[in-house]
Homo-oligomer: A and B are copies of this chain.
């Protein structure tokens, strides 16, 4: 029985379910920031997944990287599984730009975070889902 961490739930909007992971959109309109959470209870580290699950995870990371590139044309994709604050395994996939608030440093822990408006959120979620094509369950 998988339960999404409360802090992840509070900071994000659910985009959909992939084969292994729940895909979340960070509620930060300043840059494209998606989070993959493998739906496996009690997993904190990549090496706690099975080999088969890890293969799926890296394909999902790759897919989401491609979606962000297609929709936003960032100069770099940042991928990170940190978990110092929320130990539940979650993988950030973020499009970065030379004019974003933390460039060239890491984005985690920086602010201010500006939430999406409701219409904008629906629009962004819809375009991500469209770009995910066959990847959504």
> What is A's interface to B at a CB cutoff of 8 Å?
44-47, 49, 51, 54-55, 57-59, 61-63, 65-66, 69, 76-85, 87, 96, 103-106, 108-109
Cβ of A54: which chain B residues have Cβ within 8 Å of it?
55, 58-59, 62
Known pairs A44-B76, A49-B62, A84-B96; list 20 more (Cβ under 8 Å): A45-B76, A46-B61, A46-B65, A46-B77, A47-B62, A51-B59, A54-B62, A57-B58, A76-B82, A78-B80, A78-B82, A78-B83, A79-B81, A79-B82, A80-B81, A82-B106, A84-B104, A105-B108, A105-B109, A106-B109
Cβ of A47: which chain B residues have Cβ within 8 Å of it?
61-63, 65-66, 69, 77
Let me know if B45 and A65 touch, CB within 8 A. yes
Q: List 6 A-B contacts (CB under 8 A).
A: A44-B76, A45-B77, A46-B79, A47-B69, A78-B84, A84-B105
Let me know if B83 and A80 touch, CB within 8 A. no
Closest to A80 in B: B80
